[in-house]
């Protein structure tokens, strides 16, 4: 066993010596994979509707019933005036106000046209547009019902939701959370451990020893890489058995991309540690880049929705490729052949960042 | 009092000497707010559409041209079989495809009507729903016009003669449906919490680790003043960061401030104090910087991102998590800011939020001071 | 190897940081088996000079050989033949005494079957066998320094570099520490010690005195005292330091 082996043993002893760290290693993937998908949900469901029925007629009651029958909306309250409804909206107790004008039934009875006023709180634009849009389509189809026109067009568009037939938001989030696990374990852990060695001065003791730069870096990369794969495996097992992802195989694609990405994160962490003298600095830099990696690359919100210039920025983020690969493999059953570009880019990032890491790690000043 | 100011001065010196950290403290929020303000978005754009049609009908070609002209969609090309469509979707070339069966057009003009399929990649369910909504609207509208032109049937979005109801949909507070209106208050909550709590806790724990805290504690200054002296510089820096963020939000991201400026600042200041208190509290219970980081990072940062309503609406969560969200300080800040900044409602609508944040701040500070005293005795 | 008398040979060694010359053209030799004291006020350039000799820092100009290897080109080979103990205590606090010793024995390539006996022997010598499995961070400062020294010589290096090894401990502990150095020297290890305790200089075979990055005097303690007509090394140092421009 060479120096490398001894360094690995040392890392293991240090890591498992403090029960806090192994606990984080296990709890992190469990919580991320089991609890976060419940919360990380942009599904628009149970939209709260306040009805201001100023007509109080049979027809207005039918319309109200039709709205809540859809299963999409839940009644928040019934108000007498629009102002009272706005008050509820301001307090955050309701999302959409539907106002049925006075004399609607009479107008419609005379064969006239009445306007149903719908006001959606669009601060959350997804919810506002989906909820509002769906509500107005209910009103339209209700209107067709009363006018007796029926479905006026002999055409039916049948939507098919591929890869996620029940349009569950969870399935979108779970592959992304597997990435968060690697970012945290593979990126933060080694960085913190190196900077601590710097602050305590133990790195000096290693530097005067015959240990090669290479071995010291590798011992950290390999050790935390193993932990990263361990945590990733926990999250993969959860993804597979709890959420039923990657049911068509793709194990190889998933693990190869995870390995490449781990190598990237480790190299990245090394660069941060090379450039910081204190833990505080390294932590801030790490958080900064991790936030960029997580929020900019389509992990939580889709890349295609970004402003065009920021979409170009995402090409510089390895997480973009990794999240593409994981989502495609887990949900669509894509293979290496389908994802060549992403695999190549991910590998390029890993290679470049590690070259930079090795260059910047200087033993001799 | 003189000793107190000497301490405050020392703390300022610490911070200003460490240029790298200072740079990060100022640069980080700037970059984050600009990047995320522009980047975090859930609007649909640049949706690539494919076509699978058994016939070469001119009206289908025109439909595709119409789709391509709309701001959301780009027509990529025609595929020969379902297998090809499937492969293109797996490669990520297209996000949705229109599939017309053979004899679609004649069938539509016939008695029985026609059916077509709209296949969408539902990896991202929301985008898929919106794509379906917009695309079907275009398809119905297009064929409606076609048939109206040929005198058969009625366009669906026109009042069908006689009695009808017309929905008049208005998007309140955010008529252009910009995602940034929703996310910016969240990003502010995240950044302020990250900087204030992490900065305070790690730097205090650092003094503990290096032993300089002991030196302070044996000095004649009362412990409570030591705590305060540590807070003041961080409070000042946090205020500078807040100002920076607000200016960027208003002038770069162009998010309007609809409500009262005064209350917006006040709410932010309460939140900053609360975050500093959390940092203080964390520093009083942990011994090493790594653990302080992990606690602030994993126990505060992730929940702020996931459970505070920053990205994901709280009301879509399971009830247990909705309860959990109530104890996340950032949740109250984000709600209050959304109401004041974006909705512009009067302050009486945010009294709950303000009271809760103030209560939490008092709680954390008391806990920190009590813990701090414990340690000395 | 036996025939070369000098284990460290340095000629015109200089290190500059920008405009600041930390080490200014120093030349000296260290003989095999001696205790060489490297004295100077704080900031005189001792640590910088030592960092160049141990391969941590690259010289601006001048040449040097340590254990027969060039400090410019063969720093990795030098590292195999030296031991190092820094003023900043640098063992892993969260590991036990035994873990630390095994780690460094492993890093320096001590044969596996010898590691255990070597550790037991060293701990026995320190009378710290009972603390073998205690985490290092729980031990008193004086013990930590003794352990750090044992770690520095665990691979029987030709030269051991000791950078302010006795900082922060009481005189009794310092005397005990010097006994350890003597024991190591008896085994044939050369000791290169920096210190600013002038009384410790009396324990050395030869001492050099650094002022403002230069070596102003180099000889045995007795000869130095005679040359400057002083009764102690501290007095010699005061005479030399009077001309210093930078000192704290």
> Does A147 contact B164 at a Cβ distance shorter than 8 Å?
yes
- Is the predicted pLDDT of residue C1 greater than 70, yes or no? no
Contacts of C104 in chain A (CB under 8 A): 205, 209
Mark out chain A residues that contact chain C at CB-CB < 8 A. Answer: 1-3, 5-7, 9-10, 13-14, 17-18, 200-202, 204-212, 363-365
pLDDT of residue B377: 42
pLDDT of residue A232: 94
- Is the predicted pLDDT of residue B218 greater than 70, yes or no? no
Whether chain A has a CB inside 8 Å of the CB on C2: the answer is no
Looking at residues A66-84, what average pLDDT do you find? 87
> Does A202 contact C103 at a Cβ distance shorter than 8 Å?
no
Looking at residues A40-63, what average pLDDT do you find? 85
Looking at residues C211-223, what average pLDDT do you find? 88
Chain A: partners with 3+ C-beta pairs within 8 Å: B, C
Separation CA A231–CA A243 (nearest Å): 17
Looking at residues A161-185, what average pLDDT do you find? 85
Rounded to a whole number, what is the distance in Å from the CA of A220 to chain B's nearest CA? Answer: 17
Q: In chain C, which among 71-130 make CB contacts under 8 A with chain A?
A: 75-76, 79-80, 82, 84, 86, 88-95, 99, 102-109, 112
- Is the predicted pLDDT of residue A364 greater than 50, yes or no? no
Chain C: partners with 3+ C-beta pairs within 8 Å: A
Contacts of A202 (CB under 8 A, 6+ apart): C90, C91, C92
pLDDT of residue B151: 54
- Is the predicted pLDDT of residue B215 greater than 70, yes or no? no
Which of C88, C94, C103 faces A6 most closely, judged by CB atoms?
Answer: C103
> Does C76 contact A212 at a Cβ distance shorter than 8 Å?
yes
> Does A206 contact C58 at a Cβ distance shorter than 8 Å?
no
Separation CA A88–CA B347 (nearest Å): 14
Among left, alpha and beta (phi > 0; psi -120 to 50; other), residue C158 is: alpha
Separation CA C243–CA C239 (nearest Å): 8
pLDDT of residue B161: 47
User: How does residue C189 score in pLDDT terms, banded at 50, 70 and 90?
Assistant: very high
Bridge-based pairing state of the strands C35-40 and C206-211: parallel
pLDDT of residue C212: 86
Most confident of A345-354, B9-18, B164-173, B224-233: A345-354
Which of B24, B143, B169 faces A153 most closely, judged by CB atoms?
Answer: B143
Average pLDDT of chain A?
84
Looking at residues C78-90, what average pLDDT do you find? 81
Which of A200, A202, A210 faces C79 most closely, judged by CB atoms?
Answer: A210
Average pLDDT of chain C?
86
- What digits encode the pLDDT tens for the residues A282-317? 887 888 888 888 888 888 878 877 877 888 888 889
Separation CA B25–CA B6 (nearest Å): 24
b/e code C106-118 from CB counts within 10 Å (16+ = b) = bbbebeeeebeeb
Contacts of B194 in chain A (CB under 8 A): 287
What structural domains and CATH numbers belong to chain A? 3-39+169-360 (no CATH), 47-162 (3.40.1710.10)
Looking at residues C2-14, what average pLDDT do you find? 82
- The domain made up of C1-81+158-248 has a fold known as Rossmann fold (3.40.50)
> Does B35 contact A328 at a Cβ distance shorter than 8 Å?
no
Average pLDDT of chain B?
81
Query: Quick one: tokens of B38?
Result: 């522009």
User: How does residue C3 score in pLDDT terms, banded at 50, 70 and 90?
Assistant: very low
pLDDT of residue B153: 47
The residue among B328, B291, B296 whose CA lies nearest residue B312 is: B328
Separation CA A12–CA B355 (nearest Å): 47
- Is the predicted pLDDT of residue A162 greater than 60, yes or no? yes
- Is the predicted pLDDT of residue B214 greater than 70, yes or no? no
Helices (H), A18-147: 20-34, 36-39, 58-69, 82-90, 104-109, 125-147
Backbone phi, psi, residue C90, to 5°: -125, 35
Separation CA C149–CA A318 (nearest Å): 46
CATH superfamily for B47-172 is abc type-2 transporter like domain (3.40.1710.10)
Rounded to a whole number, what is the distance in Å from the CA of B314 to chain A's nearest CA? Answer: 7
Looking at residues A125-137, what average pLDDT do you find? 82
User: How does residue B1 score in pLDDT terms, banded at 50, 70 and 90?
Assistant: low
* Maximum Cα–Cα distance across chain B: 96
> Does A296 contact B44 at a Cβ distance shorter than 8 Å?
no
- Is the predicted pLDDT of residue C97 greater than 70, yes or no? yes
- Is the predicted pLDDT of residue C17 greater than 50, yes or no? yes
pLDDT of residue B217: 65
How far is the first Cα of chain A from the last one, in angstroms, to the nearest whole number?
30
Whether chain A has a CB inside 8 Å of the CB on B129: the answer is yes
Span of A62-66, B87-91, B109-113, C146-150 with lowest mean pLDDT: B109-113
Span of A139-148, B249-258, B332-341 with lowest mean pLDDT: A139-148
pLDDT of residue A106: 86
- Angle, helices C141-152 vs C171-186, to 10°: value is 10
pTM for this predicted structure = 0.79
Separation CA A316–CA B170 (nearest Å): 39
pLDDT of residue B175: 78
- What digits encode the pLDDT tens for the residues B5-51? 777 787 787 777 777 777 877 887 888 888 777 777 777 778 899 99
Looking at residues C17-32, what average pLDDT do you find? 90
User: How does residue A321 score in pLDDT terms, banded at 50, 70 and 90?
Assistant: very high
Q: In chain A, which among 325-354 make CB contacts under 8 A with chain B?
A: 327-328, 331-334, 338-339
- What digits encode the pLDDT tens for the residues B134-179? 888 888 888 877 777 665 544 444 444 455 777 777 777 877 777 7
User: How does residue A122 score in pLDDT terms, banded at 50, 70 and 90?
Assistant: confident
- Is the predicted pLDDT of residue B220 greater than 80, yes or no? no
Contacts of C90 in chain A (CB under 8 A): 200-202, 204-205
Whether chain B has a CB inside 8 Å of the CB on A241: the answer is no
b/e code A114-136 from CB counts within 10 Å (16+ = b) = bbbebbbbbbbbbbbbbbbbbbb
Contacts of A214 in chain C (CB under 8 A): none
């Amino acid at each position: 066993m060479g120096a490398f082996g001894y360094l690995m043993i040392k890392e293991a002893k240090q890591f498992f010596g403090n029960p806090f760290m192994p606990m984080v290693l296990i709890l992190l993937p469990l919580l991320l994979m089991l609890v976060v998908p419940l919360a990380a949900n942009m599904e628009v469901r149970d939209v709260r509707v306040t009805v201001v029925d100023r007509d109080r007629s049979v027809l207005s009651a039918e319309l109200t019933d039709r709205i809540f029958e859809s299963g999409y909306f839940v009644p928040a309250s019934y108000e007498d005036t629009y102002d009272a409804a706005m008050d509820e909206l301001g307090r955050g107790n309701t999302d959409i106000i539907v106002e049925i004008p006075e004399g609607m039934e009479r107008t419609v009875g005379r064969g006239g046209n009445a306007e149903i006023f719908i006001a959606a709180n669009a601060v959350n634009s997804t919810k506002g547009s989906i909820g509002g849009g769906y509500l107005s389509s209910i009103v339209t189809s209700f209107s067709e019902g009363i006018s007796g026109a029926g479905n006026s067009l002999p055409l039916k568009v049948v939507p098919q939701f591929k890869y996620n037939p029940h349009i569950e938001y969870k399935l979108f989030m779970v592959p992304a959370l597997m990435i968060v696990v690697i970012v945290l374990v593979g990126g933060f852990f080694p960085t913190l451990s190196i900077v601590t060695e710097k602050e305590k001065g133990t790195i000096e003791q290693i530097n005067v020893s015959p240990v090669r730069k290479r071995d010291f870096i590798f011992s950290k990369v390999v050790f935390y890489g193993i932990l990263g794969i361990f945590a990733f495996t926990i999250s993969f097992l959860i993804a597979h058995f709890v959420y039923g992802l990657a049911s068509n195989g793709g194990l190889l694609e998933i693990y190869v991309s995870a390995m490449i990405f781990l190598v990237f994160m480790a190299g990245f962490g090394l660069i941060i540690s090379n450039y910081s003298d204190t833990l505080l600095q390294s932590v801030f830099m790490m958080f900064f880049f991790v936030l960029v990696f997580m929020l900019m690359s389509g992990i939580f919100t889709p890349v295609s929705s970004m402003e065009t210039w920021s979409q170009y920025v995402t090409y510089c983020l390895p997480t973009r490729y990794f999240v593409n690969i994981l989502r495609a493999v887990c949900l669509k059953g894509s293979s290496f052949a389908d994802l060549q570009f992403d695999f190549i880019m991910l590998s390029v990032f890993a290679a470049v960042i590690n070259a930079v890491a090795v260059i910047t790690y200087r033993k001799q000043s | 009092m003189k000793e107190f100011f000497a301490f405050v001065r020392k703390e300022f010196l610490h911070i200003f000497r460490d240029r790298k950290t200072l740079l990060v403290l100022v640069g980080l929020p700037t970059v984050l707010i600009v990047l995320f303000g522009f980047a975090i978005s859930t609007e649909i754009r640049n949706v690539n559409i494919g076509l699978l049609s058994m016939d070469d009908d001119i009206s289908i070609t025109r439909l595709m041209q119409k789709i391509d002209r709309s701001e959301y969609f780009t027509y990529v090309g025609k595929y020969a079989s379902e297998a090809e469509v499937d492969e293109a979707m797996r490669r990520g070339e297209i996000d949705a495809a229109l599939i017309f069966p053979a004899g679609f057009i004649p069938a539509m003009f016939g008695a029985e009507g026609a059916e077509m399929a709209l296949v969408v990649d539902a990896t991202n369910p929301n985008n898929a729903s919106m794509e379906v909504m917009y695309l079907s609207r275009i398809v119905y509208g297009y064929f409606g016009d076609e048939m109206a032109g040929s005198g058969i049937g009625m366009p669906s979005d026109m009042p069908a003669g006689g009695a009808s109801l017309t929905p008049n949909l208005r998007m309140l507070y955010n008529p252009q449906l910009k995602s940034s209106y929703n996310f910016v208050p969240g990003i502010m909550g995240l950044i302020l919490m990250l900087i204030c709590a992490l900065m305070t806790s790690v730097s205090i724990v650092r003094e503990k680790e290096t032993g300089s805290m002991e030196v302070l504690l044996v000095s004649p200054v009362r412990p409570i003043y030591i705590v305060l002296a540590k807070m003041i510089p961080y409070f000042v820096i946090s205020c500078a960061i807040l100002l920076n963020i607000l200016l960027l939000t208003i002038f770069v991201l162009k998010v309007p401030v609809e409500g009262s400026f005064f209350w917006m600042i006040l709410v932010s200041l309460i939140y900053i104090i609360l975050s500093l208190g959390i940092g203080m509290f964390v520093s009083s219970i942990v011994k090493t910087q790594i653990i302080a980081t992990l606690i602030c990072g994993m126990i505060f940062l992730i929940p702020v991102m996931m459970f505070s309503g920053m990205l994901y609406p709280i009301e879509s969560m399971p009830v247990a998590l909705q309860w959990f969200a109530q104890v996340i300080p950032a949740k109250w800040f984000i709600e209050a800011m959304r109401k004041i900044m974006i909705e512009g409602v009067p302050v009486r609508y945010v009294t709950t939020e303000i009271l809760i944040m103030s209560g939490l701040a008092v709680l954390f500070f008391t806990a920190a001071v009590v813990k701090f005293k414990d340690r000395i005795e | 190897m036996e025939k070369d008398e000098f284990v460290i040979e340095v000629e015109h060694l200089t290190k500059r940081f920008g405009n600041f010359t930390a080490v200014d053209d120093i030349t000296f030799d260290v003989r095999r088996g001696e205790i060489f004291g490297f004295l100077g006020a704080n900031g005189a350039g001792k640590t910088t000079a030592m960092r160049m000799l141990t391969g941590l820092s690259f010289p601006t100009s001048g040449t040097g050989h340590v254990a027969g290897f060039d400090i410019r080109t063969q720093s990795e080979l030098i590292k195999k033949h030296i031991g190092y103990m820094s003023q900043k205590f640098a063992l892993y606090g969260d590991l036990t005494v035994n873990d630390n010793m095994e780690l460094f024995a492993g890093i320096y390539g001590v044969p596996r079957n010898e590691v255990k006996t070597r550790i037991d022997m060293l701990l026995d010598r320190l009378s710290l066998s009972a603390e073998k499995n205690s985490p290092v961070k729980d031990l008193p400062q004086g013990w930590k320094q003794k352990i750090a020294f044992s770690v520095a010589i665990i691979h029987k290096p030709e030269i051991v570099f000791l950078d302010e090894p006795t900082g922060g401990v009481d005189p009794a502990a310092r005397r005990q520490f010097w006994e350890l150095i003597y024991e190591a020297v008896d085994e044939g290890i050369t000791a290169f010690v920096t210190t600013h305790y002038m009384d410790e200089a009396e324990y050395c075979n030869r001492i050099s005195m650094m002022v403002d990055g230069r070596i102003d005097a180099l000889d045995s303690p007795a000869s130095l005292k005679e040359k400057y007509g002083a009764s102690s090394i501290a007095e010699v140092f005061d005479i030399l330091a009077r001309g210093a421009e930078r000192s704290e």
